[in-house]
Amino acid sequence: MAAIGLHRLPQTLLEPHLLARLRPVSTHRTFSSSAFTNQVRVRFAPSPTGYLHLGGLRTALFNHLLARKLGGSWTLRIEDTDQTRYVEGAVESLISTLRWAKLEYDEGPEKELGRGPYFQSQRKHIYDKYLDRLLESGKAYHCFCTPERLTESRKLLQKKGSNLTYDRHCLGTPKEEADRRIANGETSVVRFKSSPDGLTQHDLVYDPIVYPSLPIEDFVLRKSDGLPTYHFANVVDDHEMGITHVLRGEEWLPSTPKHLALYAALGLKPPQFAHMPLLINPDGSKLSKRAGDVRVEDYIAKGYEPEALLNFVALMGWGPTTVNPESEVMDLETLISEFAIEGINKNRATMSPAKLDFLNRGHLQKKVALGNEEGRKEVAERAKVILVKAFPESDSLDLEYIARVVAALKERIYTVKDLPSLGACFFVDPDLSTADAQKLLKTTSQETYKEALTKSVEIISALPDSAFLEDASSQIWGELSPLIGQGTIKSAKDLMNPLRHALTGQKVGAGIPATIGTLGREKTLQRLRARGVISRQPRSIRSLATHAPPPAKNYASITPPYPHLLSQLKTVRSILDRPLSLAEKIVYSHLDNVEEGLAGGGPVRGHNYLKLRPDRVAMQDASAQMALLQFSTCGREATAVPTSIHCDHLISAYSGAEADLKRAIASNKEVFDFLESAARKYGIEFWGPGSGIIHQIVLENYSAPGLLMLGTDSHTPNAGGLGAIAIGVGGADAVDAMSYTPWELKAPKLIGIELKGKLNGWVSPKDVILEIVGRLTVRGGTGHILEYFGEGVETLSATGLATITNMGAEMGATTSVFPYTASMRSYLQATNRAPVAKAADGAQAAGFLSADKGVEYDQHIVIDLSALEPRFNGPNTPDLSTPLSQFANLVKENGWKDEISASLIGSCTNSSYEDMSRVASIARQAKAKGLTTATPFMITPGSELINATIERDGLTADLEAVGGVVLANACGPCIGQWDRKEYKNEENAILTSFNRNFRARNDGNRKTMNFLASPDIVTAMAFAGKLSFDPTKDELIGADGKPFKFDPPTGDELPSTGFTPGNTSYLPASLPKPDPSTEIAISPSSTRLELLEPFDAHFSPEAFADPSVPLEFTDLRCLVRIRGKCTTDEISAAGAWLKYKGHLSNLSENTLIGATNDENGQVNSALEYLPNEADGTIPEIAKRWKARGQPWMIVTDHNYGEGSAREHASLQPRFLGAKLILARSFARIHRTNLTKQGVLPLTFINENDYSKISAGDIVSTKGLDALLRGDLSSVVKVVVQPKDGGETIEIETDHSLSKDAVDWIAAGSALNLIRAKVASEQ
């Protein structure tokens, strides 16, 4: 193998002056005989600058594997020379993580074996010794240059065309002068005197690398603080510690010449180097611990097995040479046995979460296998921690039982974190009122349901005890299966669905025989006998679903168009040429025409009228009626932007959630039916009654940093808590956006609100906005956007930020917005929008999601969070603000009755999980003292997501235990939907955490005084029942007669086990297609079976008969370029889709849903080439193209179609319009299947041509005509016309088709050929 010059390495890793002169040499890789002649000593040397990430774990692992494989040892060394980046606790975390991964180092911290210290900061005396040697030999020198002089030097060298930055100004300084200057206290560094001589590195992965002879920077060896640089310390430490081999990432390749030069200057023998390929994200960017889930701790928290994570990182850049390639699940012992440096490749390794899930499932299955007692115990102990939190009242949490549950679910779960959602039925009785259970129940008749359960009870009662052993599921099935065919039990579904419903309440879970065996005879019979009467609840009544993960979202529809916005921003900057605020960036980037909107760069704020293109519209049910009536006159068949309707305003509170919701649905049926039919007609997402309050739903599903949205409700700015510009408008304004008419807005002025410090104790985000409203008054924000910034912003949760932006409306502000923060990222990820967070990270890195430094605001307000105290605003106006410490005096001075008549929390502004967990902590304190609330105490959850999650986590029970009443997921009393019977026309005071408190707003009584406060204060004061009570200092009397004082509330920003969606029937389809007829006919035909129609031939018989007609595929569109592994499972998923195997139309809905789009890194994502059409999933776009008569092709990576011989993976693309698949390589069987269905499989001659075809490009063939006319030697090329109009290119391919395969292609399918032959014979 020839040596590799630096030009074959990633150029981003190379210093510019090394790229110009390169020289390859001829040599070969030889490792096994000479590279490991002495005992191997390796090291892992991380910096304590944060947590261990995946790249570091892989480095540690590879060093561990090499040491163990060759009987050597490895050292853990902490490279902490840069003390400014030291993170407290990082070393302890690092060691703990290594031990979790079972990577035990032989020498290092806590394992002193004579070569320490193992912290570089403690080895200064060693470095000084080597440094003196270099100074004495003239190979290093003191440099006294100031920063200013260094800057000047760099500029002069750049003018001369040099890539160097230092001119060796101090090289000739005599030793005596240097000593004198040092003695006088002058600051200096020590530099290495570099040599221009070339070097050759014999790298064990990249082969010999030649570094040419040319000037190299005189780099620093010792910094001005007396500590060595990384390069110098690295070389000295490796020598002192006897390191024989250095395995590290390829990002260190540019440093290697410096290290080799130091070894030579010191007369030391360098170790063998092996540089490993970089880990990259699916989008091709470098994996970074500053972005995404790259910390090992993140994966520990998600429940991954240590063996699986090691297996995963091992396979990123390395592969075994002897293990069956299909047996990728390898434990540490196997990895050690198989490891060889020859297996490390040079290609960068792409992160694949799906691969990790696959490996984790494999390791789980091994661990819980019968006989593996140690593994079962390990898994069960970790799972128990999760299950105790999810099911605190369960009596089925012993370790052996948990292990058996994991074994029963081994084909379903990926990590132990899946147990609460997929295995709930094993730990608590199933909730049969959930939407999942109701749907399952409807699959069989009542008669069949009863018969299946009755007969099953008889059989299970008679089973021997041995049938309930873990490995005896087949015995159970053997006894139950004969029931199929008896009575009304006509099929396996008629037996299994009733059993699954009665035993689990879930459509997905363990197999029924395994479920019965795991539950045991007694519990199984108990559940079956208890299912006598089953209620079929209507869709709109909320019930807590078994804790299933939320369904996948259409991420393209909820991610702001960042590339377009950044392009627009560039134009904005060129016109305005000044620092921009965050609000300006977002608003101006949404201009329909930037040049026109900004009018040449003059004053904009408060002057220009902006014509904007909003990204989204949201409407609540009351205001949506008129908006839709207006929209219906526009002649549009669909909304131009994603739009949603939210039924939240028409639900009145009276007795509790379920009864109130039923009553609302009945009384408002005509309105709800109208809204739902309009939603169907125009393709609008419809959130039915009970789903939640519009602003909470938007925050959980639609809001995103940089978004511009309109909402037909004044509190639409709630979405600003996630960095959106969200503006409340009337129905007519909403119609502008929905009809693709530019929406006009006078450019708002800006109020910059700087937050300092951090909230503490009883103070919450609600108090921040109550303080601001008190300062600005109800008119102070008119014509302005409130833009928050400052160090305090990062200390607040995303939902806390939303609480603040929500009430910006009380000041008349256009909207409010926060810069993108870590808490926003966490919230997006927690609400199933990690791809949106990732896109936002990119936009933030490009400078889009925060204000520029030096921006000037029209007003500037400073809030010190540390100095705030809880506040009350009111009565009768939200801007009359009083600190808690002065409120009792205010009550006394005004002569108000010292009594609270009702306490209400929740609503759109204060119904987050954090809010609810904090108030629940207060409730638990009160319950422990035997107290219940002294006033009616009502809780309005903002959404089904919140309601279901707080119920699952016991927070609802905490609140109800002290007298709380949970209302429907709707606006309720906050907007006056409160059927209050008490205090009619009587003066009374209520405390709420709402956003408005105008007279008569809440209960219709103008004498009701509403004081706005935080949920914490409202809850605590509900136990006193007095306005004068100060929970921060006053005491209550417990049931035992003793006084006690509340501790400050505590809570979790996000649920530790994630959100549960609850009743998922509330969730609308993402971007539903409009139905102009509004009449949806339900087809009576089967959904399981469908007659196949023959595929049409690609060319007519007349074309074949006429040699002048070219038989070429023309004007195909590239649907998607697929990255990495794409098995038949990714092409045609199994699992739940198996039911449609006989129905090609239905099954085609899953086509390529597991494939990764190489151009955006997203799974199941395809790009639309028409400018006015939305992107979508792969099957969505494929169907769309088929409908418009657009044939297509795809580009794929290596070994496309590996896995099972599933022919549906070739039928489905053909059915949807595919004619050509161009791959780097195919799996053999799948390639044949493609040709059988008439799909042309071609492979790249030069696999690097893979990236030359992009989605939307026009692709035609050249040379197919000759092939189809019988010339098997014909070379088929593809002619590519880029969609952007670029230069046409030709790419040479290999068809490798046999004559029969060519005939199949020519006929349109093998079946067509057979049919023709049979017809001719007849």
> Would you please indicate which residues are annotated as catalytic (active-site) residues?
648-649, 713, 996, 1204, 1206
The DSSP element (H or E) to which 515 belongs, if any, is: helix 512-519
Quick check: helix, strand or coil at residue 676? helix
The DSSP element (H or E) to which 673 belongs, if any, is: helix 669-682
Contacts of 1087 (CB under 8 A, 6+ apart): 1140, 1143, 1146
Tokens 């100074």, located at residue: 135
Cα–Cα distance, 799 to 786 (Å, whole number): 17
Cα–Cα distance, 814 to 749 (Å, whole number): 9
Cα–Cα distance, 847 to 319 (Å, whole number): 39
Residue of 900, 1102, 1117 lying closest to 1019 (CA atoms): 900
Residue environment code for 431-454, b if the CB has 16+ CB neighbours within 10 A, otherwise e: bbbbbbbbebbebbeeebbbbbbe
Tokens (6 digits) for 1179: 């099957």
The DSSP element (H or E) to which 221 belongs, if any, is: strand 220-222
Cα–Cα distance, 925 to 719 (Å, whole number): 33
Quick check: helix, strand or coil at residue 1029? coil
Contacts of 1082 (CB under 8 A, 6+ apart): none
Amino acid at 1031: P
User: Are the C-beta atoms of 203 and 171 separated by less than 8 Å?
Assistant: no
954: left (phi over 0), alpha (psi -120 to 50) or beta: left
Tokens 């002069």, located at residue: 156
Cα–Cα distance, 496 to 507 (Å, whole number): 10
Q: Is the dihedral of CA 412, 417, 423, 426 positive or negative?
A: positive
Is the peptide bond prior to 1076 cis by the omega test (within 30 degrees of 0)?
no
Tokens 């400014």, located at residue: 84
CB count, 10 Å around CB of 1050?
A: 10
Is the peptide bond prior to 551 cis by the omega test (within 30 degrees of 0)?
no
Q: Is the dihedral of CA 686, 691, 694, 695 positive or negative?
A: negative
**Strands (E) located in 103-249:** 140-143, 189-192, 199-203, 207-211, 220-222, 245-249
Would you state the torsion angle of the CA atoms of residues 1060, 1065, 1066, 1069, taken in this order, to the nearest 10 degrees?
100
Contacts of 168 (CB under 8 A, 6+ apart): 218
Q: Is the dihedral of CA 88, 93, 95, 96 positive or negative?
A: positive
DSSP 1014: -
Cα–Cα distance, 911 to 334 (Å, whole number): 51
What is the Cα 257 distance to its own chain's centre?
40
Q: Counting beta carbons within 10 angstroms of the beta carbon of residue 1292, is it exposed (0 to 12), middle (13 to 18) or buried (19 or more)?
A: middle
Tokens 């010794």, located at residue: 129
- Alpha-helical regions (H) of 289-398: 296-301, 306-314, 332-338, 353-367, 373-390
User: Are the C-beta atoms of 255 and 231 separated by less than 8 Å?
Assistant: yes
Tokens (6 digits) for 447: 């008669």
> 3-state secondary structure string, 118-143?
CEHHHCHHHHHHHHHHHHHCCCEEEE
Cα–Cα distance, 703 to 408 (Å, whole number): 39
